[in-house]
Amino acid sequence: MGDTSDAAIISALRREMGRAVARQVAAAGNLANLETPGYHARDPVFADTLEARLGAQLSLAATSPAHLQGTAGSAASASRETEGLSSRRDGNNVQLDRELLNMTEAANDFAKAQTALSAKFRLVRYAISEGR
């Protein structure tokens, strides 16, 4: 069985919210370039997918005391060209319906994770106040 600790659940919800945001950002960028000749739609690529497959934790190294602390998960997700989309005569392959659907699905995924996270924190507040 997997890890079901509070920290693991919160971390999984945080990752899901981050994925949803990255998908929304990619779809918004694609929509912004709907009429740009030669533009090809892009999809996010998630570093944590690679991390999970390798079984390693990514870490940041500060090479100077002036560097700010951070986590590897806070870095922006990369993107790649979407494969399998047909291009119009101007070379653009962004499809309005597809991007709007992606944005809607990402918003729903974010809302689900946010609701679960909110419920988790309500349980914690209830436990702290001992049900008062």
Domain locations in the chain as residue ranges? 9-59+74-124
Report the chain's C-alpha Rg in angstroms.
19
- Which residues, in sequence order, are CB contacts of 18 under 8 Å at separation 6+? 73, 77
Nearest to 96 by CA among 54, 41, 14, 45: 41
- Which residue, among 91, 89, 96, 84, has the nearest Cα to 40 in the 3D structure? 91
Q: What is the per-residue pLDDT across 95-119, written as a single tens digit (0 to 9) for each?
A: 999 999 999 999 999 999 999 999 9
Confidence of residue 72 (pLDDT cuts 50, 70, 90): very low
Name the burial class of residue 43, with classes exposed (0-12), middle (13-18) and buried (19+) by CB atoms within 10 angstroms of its CB.
Answer: middle
Instruction: Return the structure tokens found at 128.
Output: 């702290």
- Pick 52 or 25 by higher pLDDT: 25
DSSP state of 73: G
